[in-house]
Structure 1
Amino acid sequence: MNLENTQVQMRKGILEFCILHIISRGEVYASDMLEELTSAKIIVVEGTLYPLLTRLRKAGLLEYKWVESNSGPPRKYYTITEEGKEFKNSLSNTWLQLVESASQIITKNNS
């Protein structure tokens, strides 16, 4: 098995959850999301992020608005919808349960 592939799959599995958390803090531009994800060692590229944002928007979890920029073309800023907040909260509960379950398994004494 390839360790790096497994690590990438684990990170991809929580990408949607992390994006919803980032956006839930307030309006955010996609490059700011990429920067935060990268600094948290969740490596993602634009080619992954933009289709995911589109899917989340089509699912009714996100909205966006165009904002004029003094330094170039207009920018798309994302916000979370009420449905998105509920979805994020449900994922948060699932995450906490998974962390607890995984911790129970990986910390169990083998003796």
Structure 2
Amino acid sequence: MSVSSQMMKGLLDGAILGLIAQGETYGYEILDKLKAQQFPEISDGSIYPVLLRLNKKGYIISYTKKSSTGGPKRKYYTITADGKSELAQFKSKWHDLNSGMNNLMRSVNHVE
């Protein structure tokens, strides 16, 4: 089953902000963490447009840093004060939406 792209867009913004809020991180690490949480339909190319959009909105900042493993430089991301505020709003809206959907789905299950 495919999740609509608009739904994924909104969810990815919140999920990625949440991961970056846990501490500085880079793109591939974000991808690994999303996959570890069984986030649906994540491809390598799907998070970078989100990171760019969040950066343009001022929710995150990026900087390059030498890799600790001796590899090439990596672009790291960290959350801003505006990003923390946006994440708090996302979490509140998600809680309300999730509660409503869970209530609705429970009532649908009783109908069957």
Alignment of 1:1-111 (within 5 A): 4-5=1-2, 7=3, 9=5, 10-42=7-39, 43-69=41-67, 71-108=70-107, 109-110=110-111
**CA RMSD in angstroms, aligned pairs only:** 1.8
Q: How many residues align?
A: 107
Q: Partners in 2 of 1:68 and 1:106 — Cα distance?
A: 48
User: Any gaps of 5 or more consecutive residues in structure 1?
Assistant: none
Instruction: Give the TM-score of the pair, scaled to structure 1.
Output: 0.86
Taking only the aligned residue pairs, the percentage that are identical comes to 32
Deviations 1:47-97 (CA, angstroms, capped at 9, x unpaired)? 111111011000000001111125222111100000000000000000000
After the TM superposition, list the runs of 4 or more consecutive aligned residues in structure 1 that deviate by more than 3 angstroms.
8-13
Give, in angstroms, the shift of residue 46 of structure 1: 2.5
User: Which secondary structure does the structure 2 equivalent of 1:73 belong to?
Assistant: coil
Q: Partners in 2 of 1:34 and 1:8 — Cα distance?
A: 19
User: Any gaps of 5 or more consecutive residues in structure 2?
Assistant: none
Instruction: Give the TM-score of the pair, scaled to structure 2.
Output: 0.85
Q: Partners in 1 of 2:10 and 2:60 — Cα distance?
A: 19
